[in-house]
Amino acid sequence: MNNFNIKKHTEYYFGKDAEAKTGEMLKKYGAGKVLVHYGMGSVIKSGLLGRVEDSIKAAGIAYVTLGGVVPNPVDTLVYEGIELCRKEGVDFILAVGGGSAIDSAKAIAAGVKHDGDFWDYFYDQKVSMTDALPVATVLTIPAAGSEGSTATVINKVTGGGPVQKRGGGGPGVVPVFSLLNPELNYTLPAFQTACGIADMMSHIFERYFTNTPDVEISDRLCEAVLLTCIKCGPIAVKEPENYAARANITWAGTIAHDGTCGVGREEDWASHDIEHELSALYDVAHGAGLAVIFPAWMKYVYKQDVDRFVCFAVNVWGIENSGNKEETALKGIEAVKNFFKSIGLPTNFAELGAKKEDIGKLVEVLAINKKGGPIGSFVKLTMDDCRKVYEIAAE
């Protein structure tokens, strides 16, 4: 196990009617004037935004609103949010929505305090977001884990050329509090629920497949979260108002990406980098893209540590160890693919709506965004390796 330093920063209020705590929590954390940041209207139709605003008003806190966040959030709205916050004297940002709204809020929070272009944080991912306005969340979609993570992902659509989808982050944009009410997820379409499950499982995969030895505690934690997703995910898809399933999935999404399962171990993240080009080019759901890419990546790299893939097959998928390590490992990879398919997700390019003839373009933009590579750590992938992963995904 590697040395590590971790600080748990976010206060969570979990359960039914959690959003009613909004005003109280904002007051607790010293909010003077709040930007309420949200998406394209579902939070208005559901009445959630109104309830949140009522709670803020009852607490006597001033606020302004900015809607319009889209899936795969874009830099244009971030720039608008930064300008609005500076003009209105906003000192606190509340995201009401899923990962896209939260990521956009984080980028705005960092951008307000930055002297230059907020994209500096994304262009050079070694530059950490340490200084930002405080961010909080009312979560509506369990998936990205952004309600408790250091991370944010934004699409740059300005400036011409191909869309650039890049990640950034740092301790300054970890939410100070997050309100998690599983009932808010009842109205999610089955496909969106399934995409969220793939997203949170992928966050665990990025940590589970590591070259770091002697990480028994985090191995078992990773497996526990995956087993929860495998058990409760299909129930949530089929029975959208099953509170127990929704509650477990909601907390699994948070735990998957708040750092708990990655302490003391090297993480990978190549599959996320590879998928980002798919969702940037085709504007597909991130979780759907991950459902296509991850089994392909696994198939390409499993020989790096066959024993780890055998452990994954046996402990996570309940596959009997036949004694033939390669056979068992491949069965585990196939189980991933079959699970994603069973909950209604695509598992290849054709089902996703991607085109094999675009692989060259995907690799070209990936090379620009990752400065030629290599990417990942479990296996350091060259751009030619990434091309081969895309080709497997296109089969």
- Distance in angstroms (rounded) separating the CA atoms of residues 50 and 320: 52
Helix (H) or strand (E) run with residue 97 in it: strand 92-97
- Distance in angstroms (rounded) separating the CA atoms of residues 24 and 17: 13
CATH number for the domain harbouring residue 30: 3.40.50.1970
Whether residues 162 and 201 share a domain: the answer is no
pTM score: 0.95
Residue 192 lies in a domain: yes
Whether residues 117 and 224 share a domain: the answer is no
Whether residues 231 and 172 share a domain: the answer is no
CATH number for the domain harbouring residue 207: 1.20.1090.10
pLDDT, tens digit (0-9, with 9 covering 90-100), for 87-117: 999 999 999 999 999 999 999 999 999 999 9
Examine the fold and report which residue of 135, 164, 184 is the final residue of a domain before the chain moves on. Answer: 184
Residue 83 predicted with pLDDT over 80: yes
Beta bridge partners of 62: 33
Q: What pLDDT was estimated at residue 6?
A: 76
Whether residues 146 and 214 share a domain: the answer is no
pLDDT, tens digit (0-9, with 9 covering 90-100), for 268-310: 999 999 999 999 999 999 999 999 999 999 999 999 999 999 9
pLDDT, tens digit (0-9, with 9 covering 90-100), for 54-69: 999 999 999 999 999 9
Residue 2 lies in a domain: no
Residue 33 lies in a domain: yes
pLDDT, tens digit (0-9, with 9 covering 90-100), for 157-172: 998 888 889 999 999 9
Q: Report how far Cα 57 is from the mean position of its chain's Cα atoms.
A: 31
Neighbouring C-alpha atoms within 13 Å toward the C-beta of 31: 28
Residue 6 lies in a domain: no
Q: Report yes or no: 375 and 273 within 8 Å, Cβ to Cβ.
A: yes
Whether residues 208 and 343 share a domain: the answer is yes
Q: What pLDDT was estimated at residue 112?
A: 97
Whether residues 238 and 333 share a domain: the answer is yes
Q: Report yes or no: 155 and 99 within 8 Å, Cβ to Cβ.
A: no
Whether residues 119 and 251 share a domain: the answer is no
pLDDT, tens digit (0-9, with 9 covering 90-100), for 353-362: 999 999 999 9
Total domains in the chain come to: 2
Question: What's the mean per-residue pLDDT of the chain?
Answer: 96
Q: How many CB atoms lie within 10 A of CB 89?
A: 10
Residue 5 lies in a domain: no
Examine the fold and report which residue of 151, 184, 217 is the final residue of a domain before the chain moves on. Answer: 184
Helix, strand, coil: what percent of the chain each, to 5? 55, 10, 35
Q: What pLDDT was estimated at residue 39?
A: 95
Whether residues 171 and 308 share a domain: the answer is no
Whether residues 381 and 236 share a domain: the answer is yes
Residue 223 lies in a domain: yes
What whole-number percentage of the chain has pLDDT above 70?
100
Name the residue range of residue 254's domain: 188-393
Residue 124 predicted with pLDDT over 90: no
Q: What pLDDT was estimated at residue 37?
A: 98
Whether residues 223 and 260 share a domain: the answer is yes
Whether residues 221 and 337 share a domain: the answer is yes
124-128 long-range contacts (CB < 8 A, ≥24 apart) are 125/166, 125/167, 125/168, 127/168, 128/169, 128/170, 128/171, 128/172
Prior bond to 189 cis, omega within 30?
Answer: no
Q: Place 7 in a pLDDT band, splitting at 50, 70 and 90.
A: confident
Residue 5 predicted with pLDDT over 90: no
- Average pLDDT estimate for 209-215: 98
Cβ-in-10-Å burial (0-12, 13-18, 19+) of 86 comes to exposed
Examine the fold and report which residue of 184, 204, 237 is the final residue of a domain before the chain moves on. Answer: 184
Residue 126 predicted with pLDDT over 80: no
Q: Report yes or no: 147 and 251 within 8 Å, Cβ to Cβ.
A: no
- Distance between terminal CA atoms of the chain? 37
Q: How many CB atoms lie within 10 A of CB 4?
A: 11
- Distance in angstroms (rounded) separating the CA atoms of residues 233 and 242: 11
Q: Place 207 in a pLDDT band, splitting at 50, 70 and 90.
A: very high
Residue 8 predicted with pLDDT over 90: no
Whether residues 308 and 192 share a domain: the answer is yes
